[in-house]
Amino acid sequence: MYTASSERYDTMVYNRCGKSGLLLPAVSLGLWHNFGTNADPENMKAMLRTAFDLGITHFDLANNYGPEYGSAETNFGKILKEDFAPYRDEMIISTKAGYDMWPGPYGNWGSRKYLLASLDQSLKRMGLDYVDIFYHHRMDPNTPLEETMGALDSIVKSGKALYVGISNYDGPTMVRAAEILEDLKCPFVINQNRYSIFDRTIEQNGLKKTANQMGKGIIAFSPLAQGLLTDKYLHGIPSDSRIAVDGRFLHADALTKEKLAQIEALNKMAGERGQSLAQMALSWILKDEDVTSVLIGASRPEQIIQNVEIVQNTKFTREELKKIDQISRGNL
């Protein structure tokens, strides 16, 4: 029988999500990878226990996380029932819908039919009455935004989610979505977007600045650029790396001579800060107050322990930030 550490809240930092009343841990755990059908049940359980014992209260899922689709939610639900039932009110559990989930025209994108049905399925898989945050996972160019946002509002009013968020939206569409949800009095509190030293899209499209001005939180995913912002590829491609095992989201041709030189320069800089490259990359995400939380993935508990260490080291000098920017642009 699992008993959570009595010291679980001693070192974690909790940040306010925009102007809402919701606090999120500076580091959140995503279940995109390593919680699917072929994952080791004991390792999954160990990672969730380690995370919670370290003060990670936010666990992020989606309807099609796996593989197979839905299996991450199913596995999480089993562990939740066995280990975390007494702690449900200490946890922030989020899920999403927006990418392909089941065959036919009603298992994808942003229609009201899809979003409501998907959340019902997610709740059954996890054994929950509600989630804390429900996201629309991506913009839908064909469904009216009013319909998609109206579905999110209905979900909150039905009691199946406490807050809503949007993921992979650009700045202008986020503004329109926020205006619709504000008129509906729906608690839209957070954006989930890709963000890393190597991917500055939310800076370039204005979402990062605009979200802060509008009082909305941001949680950053892929902060390590699918593993590029680690030292694992500096001496070749390990047999157990994401490139070697999967290759869907990171390809070997990304490891150009120029990119490896950037990684090497950042790795050297991280060492000078007393951090690993992965730790520095996570710290960089939290360097200002615009980002509420950084979303990590893990394949073993030790990675979670190492990543959580960054919450006490998110400060950078002006010179360090300038150097990181130069390296990320290829000015070595």
pLDDT of res. 76: 98
Average pLDDT over every residue of 83-109: 98
Q: Is the pLDDT of residue 331 over 90?
A: no
Q: Which residues lie closer than 8 Å to 182 by C-beta, 6 or more apart?
A: 188
Q: Is residue 308 part of a domain?
A: yes
Is 262 inside any structural domain? no
- Alpha carbons 171 and 207: distance in angstroms, whole number: 4
The whole-number average pLDDT for the span 290-304 is 97
Burial of 28 (0-12, 13-18, 19+ CB in 10 A): buried
pLDDT at 246: 60
Residue 228 in domain = yes
Per the structure block, which two tokens stand in for 247? 């290759």
CA-based nearest residue to 26, from 61, 62, 51, 63: 51
End-to-end CA distance of the chain: 52
The whole-number average pLDDT for the span 289-302 is 97
Beta-carbon-side half-sphere exposure of residue 150 (alpha carbons within 13 Å): 8
Tell me whether residue 3 is in a domain: no
Domain assignment present for residue 125? The answer is yes
Instruction: Convert the chain into a string of H (helix), E (strand) and C (coil).
Output: CCCCCCCCCCCCCEEECCCCCCEEECEEEECCCCCCCCCCHHHHHHHHHHHHHCCCCEEECCCCCCCCCCHHHHHHHHHHHHHHHHHHHHCEEEEEECCCCCCCCCCCCCCHHHHHHHHHHHHHHHCCCCEEEEEECCCCCCCCHHHHHHHHHHHHHCCCEEEEEEECCCHHHHHHHHHHHHHCCCCEEEEEEECECCECHHHHCCHHHHHHHHCCEEEEECCCHHHCCCCCCECECCCCCHHHHCCCCCCHHHCCHHHHHHHHHHHHHHHHCCCCHHHHHHHHHCCCCCCCEEEECCCCHHHHHHHHHHHHCCCCCHHHHHHHHHHHCCCC
- pLDDT, residue 233, reads 87
Alpha-carbon span 106 to 169, nearest angstrom = 21
282: pLDDT strictly greater than 70: yes
CA 46 to chain centroid, in Å, comes to: 20
> Per-residue pLDDT tens for 209-267?
999 999 999 999 999 999 999 998 887 665 565 554 565 556 667 788 999 999 999 99
Domain count, the chain: 1
pLDDT at 1 (0 to 100): 86
Q: Is pLDDT of 4 > 70? A: yes
User: Tell me, what CATH number does 233's domain have?
Assistant: 3.20.20.100
Residue 330 belongs to some domain of the structure: no
What's the whole-number mean pLDDT along residues 124-138?
A: 98
Per residue in 44-57, pLDDT (tens digit) is 999 999 999 999 99
* 155-204 pLDDT, tens digit each: 999 999 999 999 999 999 999 999 999 999 999 999 999 999 999 999 99
On whether residue 161 sits in a domain, the answer given is yes
* Pairwise CA distance, residues 93 & 108, whole Å: 22
What CA–CA distance (Å, rounded) separates 79 from 52?
A: 13
Q: Average pLDDT of 79-100?
A: 98
Residue 255: the pLDDT is 82
pLDDT(6) > 60: yes
Please state the φ and ψ torsions of residue 221, each to the nearest 5 degrees: -110, 165
**Range of 166's domain?**
14-255+280-315
Whether the CA torsion 178, 179, 181, 182 is positive or negative: it is positive
Phi and psi torsions of 66, nearest 5°? -175, -125
What is the distance between the alpha carbons of residues 156 and 133, in angstroms, rounded to a whole number? 9
How many residues does the structure list for the chain? Answer: 332
- Which pLDDT value is given to residue 167? 98
Q: Is residue 321 part of a domain?
A: no
Read off the amino acid at residue 259.
K
Across the chain, what does the average pLDDT equal? 95
Residue that has been written with the tokens 């569409």 in this structure: 173
The residue whose two tokens read 């006490």 is 312
